[in-house]
Amino acid sequence: MPSPIPSTSIPAKEEWGGNVCVLTYDALDVDAITRSVGDDRAGATVTFIGTTRNSFRGKVVTRLEYQAYSKLAIRSMVEIVRNVTISDSAPSLISCAVHHRLGTVPVGEASIVIAVSSPHRKEAFVACEQILEEVKQGTQIWKREYYDGEDEERAEWKTNYS
């Protein structure tokens, strides 16, 4: 049984200048997220989809659960995207979208989708990876892994970068 929704782990969304960051309990629509960064100026659109896998360190994973301090997490995500879009390594990005799921995410479903458009592929790849790594390390989002055959009370909360 999933944990009750904490009052700080609420849906959130920030949009600016063709960019968007979202925290949601809804399933992530990869095609819609990818389309949201589409632009006729883009020669490249890079999409990263992080999914719940069925195993971790020899254990069978049944699901993940994500919680966030949403007010701070959405601000962190926005700051990360803003910093990447103005960096020297990605000077001509057109649009970025970062969507992170909250709540229970079953095996095979997306927990994070990042889409980046740019005139050139290298900048889009670099930006997408940089956003992913910084979101995993610098946002107030935690995950709990549930394993087959283990008491659910023993499921551990982990930082999002483990």
CATH for 123:
3.90.1170.40
Q: Which pTM value belongs to this model?
A: 0.91
* Enclosing domain of residue 110: 18-150
Per-residue pLDDT, 151: 74
Per-residue pLDDT of 109-140, as tens digits, reads 999 999 999 999 999 999 999 999 999 999 99
Question: Six-digit token pair at 159?
Answer: 């930082």
Q: Are 101 and 40 in contact (CB under 8 A)?
A: no
E runs forming strands in the chain: 12-16, 19-24, 44-51, 55-56, 59-68, 95-101, 103-106, 110-118, 141-147, 156-159
Domain total of the chain: 1
CA nearest to 131, candidates 97, 94, 88, 107: 97
**Three-state DSSP class for 60?**
strand
CA distance 121 to 142: 31
Give residue for tokens 């925290």.
Answer: 23
Q: Is 128 within a domain?
A: yes
Q: Is 105 within a domain?
A: yes
